[in-house]
Structure 1
Amino acid sequence: MTGNADEWIGHELGKHTISYDERDAILYALAVGAGADDLDLVFEDRLRVLPTFALTLAQWAPDTLGSAGAFDTSTAVHGSQRLQVLAPLPRSGSFDTVASVPHVWDKGRAAIFEVAVESDYFVATWSIFAPGCGGFGGDRGPSTPERGEEVADRSLQVPTFPTQAALYRLLGDRHHMHIDPDAAQAAGQPGPFLHGLCSLASVTLPLAAELGAHPADLTTLEGRFAAPVFPGDVLDVSVQPRDSSARFEVTADGRPAITGGSAAFG
């Protein structure tokens, strides 16, 4: 690590031009669970780009912060994610993104780095939990909201598939722990595990269908990553619908995987 964690507050990560084509957008849709009959997600003649594709396009920003030495990339984990959609992503093309570190929260034995990526199409915010970086006397930041007492009105089952992590990593997040058993075990897991962003995005497709919406009409998304999901797990999603939005919790193999989930569709 380079310096104290609080030295990164307000740090600018620069500008990055994102480029992609229709093939990339279709590959992404398949990687998060779209089927061959979802023609407006997987067929270029009818293509609508999933808004969560933005999260793979903007992965450069947290990777840049880790490479700069802000935290130990071998122990830091993705704590939570937020996405605000400003406009539909084009089918293909190029556009600029800018990124910064608006906050670094002091959790004592750890720090949480917030990485915000902005563009004309979205604002995406990563929270990276970094053990060993806390204790610098900074603000602890907002506390995690307590889970409500509401009983879920509906439940969904979302299957993952054995090759999903291997496919999803081709879209940008090539961290070895998602493909290499040795790297996964070094990270404290029994084997390669699914990207949290893949699990989160996978839930939005059946969730949209449950709400009578289209997944490409997603406007906001948020979730905290509580435990890893392994390729082939079935995600059990408890849903509290509210018109065109919903709160949700995800478990996998009986353990909480995504907590504090919320999504809205326009």
Structure 2
Amino acid sequence: MNAPVSELTGADWRGHALGTRTVAYAERDAILYALAVGARADELDLVHEDRLQVLPTFALTLAQWAPDALGSAGAFDVTTAVHGAQRLTVRRPLPRSGELTMSARVSEVWDKGAAAVYEVEVESEFFVATWSLFAPGRGGFGGERGPSVPRPSGTAPDHRVTVPTHAEQAALYRLLGDRHAMHIDPAAARAAGMPRPFLHGLCTLAATTLPLARTLGAHPADLETLEARFSAPVFPGDRLIAECRTDGPRALTFTAADAERGSAALSGGRVAFRTAD
């Protein structure tokens, strides 16, 4: 049984249940999502209900309630915490429409000294997703530091892949549920320390999987696993270059950086797609 939320500090949040929720969606939601993360109008199996295959990363929009619930419970200051990393393991394809029942918990809390990292795990019959949330001012409780940032590989990339974004992308993506004003309102973005509205990290990550799938000759709906750290903001209209190294028959490790500024947007990335039966 969970202790009263008001009594939880530091590592006490580990194992804290965030509840169960059933979320309904329709085909139009899955299609809007595909368009928001960069699917082309001629990719009919992503944007036409007649032959629709739902992108597995769409699940992350349906599960967004869980990290939001942890912030609302008082684990950290929601105005300063940031989304540090994301993992997704696909168990089976998402249906075109219907209802998903998910349960969520705090699977781990790491002590980084000046900050804590909370890992929120959301589980359903279709996927397991884990948010890593970096919370300044919540560390120093004597816990383990947890895994370190992976070092970049010194080997030359096997592929360099362009990841385009477009000016309206954040405005579209926010309709899927993450309506934080900093992604649409210039004043809110400046208040958050950004020069202008920036793209949702999960949108950047999902947008990156599409050209990576094409590079591997895989279908993006055949995604099996995905993970990456969010290293710097991406602004709508930016063009990223993903440097990729082969990590299996249909798997890549990758980083992605802004083509103009050179700043790393995604690091420690890995993606894998189902192999042909």
**How does the TM-score come out when normalised to structure 1?**
0.98
Report deviation, 1:6. 2.0
Equivalent residues in 2 for 1:77-156, closer than 5 Å: 77-156=82-161
Q: Secondary structure at the match of 1:137?
A: coil
- Give the corresponding residue for 1:238: 243
* 1:10-58 CA distance string (max 9 Å, x none): 1000000011010000000000000110000000001000000011110
Q: Secondary structure at the match of 1:96?
A: strand
Aligned length, in residue pairs: 266
- Give the corresponding residue for 1:19: 24
* 1:131-181 CA distance string (max 9 Å, x none): 010001111112222122121011111110111001101101111111111
- Give the corresponding residue for 2:270: 262
Specify the code of the residue in structure 2 equivalent to 1:28.
Y
* Separation (CA, whole Å) in 2 of partners of 1:138 and 1:94: 38
Q: Which of the numbers 208, 222, 225 marks the counterpart of 1:220? A: 225
* Separation (CA, whole Å) in 1 of partners of 2:64 and 2:33: 14
Report deviation, 1:188. 1.1
* Separation (CA, whole Å) in 1 of partners of 2:211 and 2:14: 38
* Separation (CA, whole Å) in 1 of partners of 2:235 and 2:273: 28
**Residues 1:250 and 2:256 are matched in the alignment:** yes
**Residues 1:62 and 2:67 are matched in the alignment:** yes
Report deviation, 1:9. 1.1
Report deviation, 1:7. 2.3
Q: Where does the alignment leave 5 or more consecutive residues of structure 2 unmatched?
A: none
- Give the corresponding residue for 1:34: 39
* Separation (CA, whole Å) in 1 of partners of 2:213 and 2:206: 11
**Residues 1:178 and 2:183 are matched in the alignment:** yes
Q: Secondary structure at the match of 1:258?
A: strand
* Separation (CA, whole Å) in 2 of partners of 1:26 and 1:145: 34
Identity fraction in percent? 64
Report deviation, 1:90. 0.2
Specify the code of the residue in structure 2 equivalent to 1:10.
G
* Separation (CA, whole Å) in 1 of partners of 2:254 and 2:88: 16
Report deviation, 1:5. 2.5
* Separation (CA, whole Å) in 1 of partners of 2:164 and 2:241: 9
Report deviation, 1:8. 1.1
The range that moved more, 80-89 or 152-161, is 152-161
* Separation (CA, whole Å) in 2 of partners of 1:141 and 1:19: 35
Q: Secondary structure at the match of 2:267?
A: strand
Q: Where does the alignment leave 5 or more consecutive residues of structure 1 unmatched?
A: none
* Separation (CA, whole Å) in 2 of partners of 1:62 and 1:134: 18
**How does the TM-score come out when normalised to structure 2?**
0.94
* Separation (CA, whole Å) in 1 of partners of 2:269 and 2:107: 22
- Give the corresponding residue for 2:50: 45
* Separation (CA, whole Å) in 2 of partners of 1:191 and 1:121: 36
Specify the code of the residue in structure 2 equivalent to 1:264.
A
* Separation (CA, whole Å) in 1 of partners of 2:79 and 2:10: 16
RMSD: 1.1
- Give the corresponding residue for 2:163: 158
